[in-house]
A and B are shown apart, each in its own frame.
Chain A
Amino acid sequence: MHLDWTALGQVTAVSLGVTVAVVVVFALGVLGLARLEGAREHPGGSSALGLGQAALCFLACAAVVAYGIYLIVPQFH
């Protein structure tokens, strides 16, 4: 019997890393969005900063999703 421990370790490391990274970046984006919406209600808050943060974070997440689709669809390989 042959067990590929290296591959198992890789799956573990990559899955943990990517999941945590995507969710943290997305959470930061949501935080930016919350700041933007908060600034609309209470003028004086910095809405531009919130918008920029949200846009940047969601863009990064979209890039990861695009890479995911690339991995799923064999025609792209």
Chain B
Amino acid sequence: MDHITFLVAVVIVTALAFDFTNGFHDTANAMATSIATGALAPRTAVLISGVLNVVGAFLSTEVAKTISGGIVDDTLVTPGMIFAGLVGAILWNLLTWLVGLPSSSSHALFGGLIGAVWVGAGSHGVNFDKVVEKVLVPAVASPVVAGVAALLATYLAYRLTDRARKESVTKGFRVGQIASASLVSLAHGTNDAQKTMGVITLTLISAGALGHDAGPPLWVIASAGLAIGLGTYLGGWRIIRTMGKGLTEIQSPQGFAAETASTTVILTSAHLGFALSTTQVASGSILGAGLGRRLAEVRWGVAGRMAVAWVITLPAAALVGGLAAAVVQNGGDLGTAVVALVGAALAAGIVALSRRNSVHAHNVNDTHEVTLRTEPPAKVGAAA
């Protein structure tokens, strides 16, 4: 283990920490609608999702061969920059979780790396063409496509089952939701766990601990899979509440339509080589499903805040990543330790803040708001 320097060890731990936040940030994508409609009990939902994430991590052998898919020049990237980028991504993920906003974990990672590489190697290290092609275009297109598909499907589902027995319809679609939500989880595991494995593997290669073109060692696959699975099982209840209750009141046919739309968009895009954010696809689907049912209320204020979060995710993570990169570059091991400590302190502070008004498995469906105030917010029934 001669090659594992202090910096490399810190990068590996930070990458696993990011993987963990990625897991609990994205539980909502697959499970929010199933939890909201009662298709799955909250604890069961996160357990299924967590297990499928681990399974997905082991299934997929196509580990990301580049850290960023060409968004930054991988030859200029040092372990220090990766560390700084990861810190930016983790802090942004935690902050958006605190306010209950579903933002893209992939965009946070890209943003953190862009900021770190920009500061560390100069602006020529960032391929802005690729940023537009791989981040901006899918970010605009994928939620729209998923939303339109879910809207049409929801409308037709309600038209077709209009006159049928209500209990039979609700029950039938609830069972369907279990299958569709599980598919989203599996697809998520195969995609997102790979990113962390790629980051750790490339760090090990750059440090000389692994040969070039080496695949990830088993301990990397296992730890990345477990980190994302544990994060998923812990459940980002604040985000689950926003996606399941905040955007619109979801019924089981809508949940099924939304999850089907998410699955097909994610799978067809992956098949054709489009990188996209599971979070944005899932949010688009839920909005579409809300619009597809007549008289369903869509809370545009929540949707608007979400859209703002999407727009600032990349630059915000880039800012933190850049700042951290500057400290790491000038401070060496001491600077790295300082960034790690400050990052851990900020993360602990955010978690402490969230305790003031904690959202968990037992109260996730009680209301549609995620607030930081201590007084209990108005119940859905009374407010809506």
Interface contact B157-A31, CB-CB below 8 Å: no
B160 within 8 A of A: yes
Number of A interface residues in the complex (CB < 8 A): 37
Q: Is B2 part of the binding interface, using a Cβ–Cβ cutoff of 8 Å?
A: no
Q: Judge whether A68 and B145 touch: CB under 8 Å.
A: no
User: Are B183 and A69 within 8 A (Cβ)?
Assistant: yes
Knowing A14-B264, A30-B161, A31-B161, say if A23 contacts B59 (CB, 8 Å): no
The minimal Cβ–Cβ distance linking A17 to chain B, given in whole angstroms, is 9
B141 contacts partner chain A, Cβ-Cβ < 8 Å: yes
Q: A14-B264, A30-B164 are in contact. List 12 more A-B contacts (CB 8 A).
A: A1-B132, A15-B268, A16-B149, A19-B150, A30-B168, A33-B168, A34-B172, A72-B186, A73-B60, A74-B61, A74-B190, A75-B59
**Does B253 touch A at the CB level, under 8 Å?**
yes
Q: Known contacts A24-B156, A27-B157: does B165 contact A15 (CB below 8 Å)?
A: no
Residues of chain A with a CB closer than 8 A to B165's CB: 34, 37-38
Q: Which residue of A lies closest to B132 (CB)?
A: A1
Closest to A38 in B: B165
Query: With a CB–CB cut-off of 8 A, which chain A residues contact B152?
Result: 16, 19-20
Please tell me which stretch of B12-20, B201-209, B255-263, B354-362 contacts chain A, meaning at least 4 of its Cβ atoms lie within 8 angstroms of it.
Answer: B255-263
Cβ of B112 under 8 Å from chain A: no
Evaluate whether A68 and B59 lie within 8 angstroms (CB atoms) in the complex, with A10-B272, A31-B164 already known.
no
A69 — which chain B residues lie within 8 A by C-beta? 183, 186
Hey, which bits of chain A sit against chain B, CB under 8 A? 1-3, 7-8, 10-12, 14-16, 18-20, 22-24, 26-31, 33-35, 37-38, 61, 65, 68-69, 71-75
Question: How distant is B148 from chain A, measured CB to nearest CB, in Å?
Answer: 7
Decide if B153 touches A73 in the complex (CB within 8 Å): no
Give the residues from 184 to 211 in chain B that come closer than 8 angstroms, CB to CB, to chain A: 186-187, 190
- Is residue B176 contacting chain A, with contact meaning CB distance below 8 A? yes
Task: List chain B residues, Cβ under 8 A from A3.
Answer: 133, 137
Tell me the dominant secondary structure on chain B's binding face: helix
CB distance from A58 to the nearest CB of B (A): 9
Q: Provide the bound-state CA to CA distance between A38 and B141, in Å.
A: 43
* Cβ–Cβ contact B257 & A23, under 8 A: yes
Per CB-CB distance, the 9 closest pairs between chain A and chain B, nearest first, are A30-B172, A34-B168, A23-B153, A34-B164, A19-B149, A27-B160, A1-B129, A18-B264, A19-B261
Shortest C-beta distance, B154 to chain A (Å), equals: 8
In the complex, what residue of chain A is closest to B154 when comparing beta carbons? A23
Contacts of B253 in A (CB 8 A): 27
Q: Given contacts A19-B149, A23-B153, are A10 and B268 in contact (CB under 8 A)?
A: yes
CB contacts (< 8 Å) of B133 on chain A: these are 1-3
Q: Which residues of A contact B61 (CB under 8 A)?
A: 74-75
Q: In the complex the two chains form, is B59's CB within 8 Å of A74's CB?
A: yes
A71 to B261 CA separation, bound complex (whole angstroms): 16
Cα A11 to Cα B272 in complex, Å, equals 8
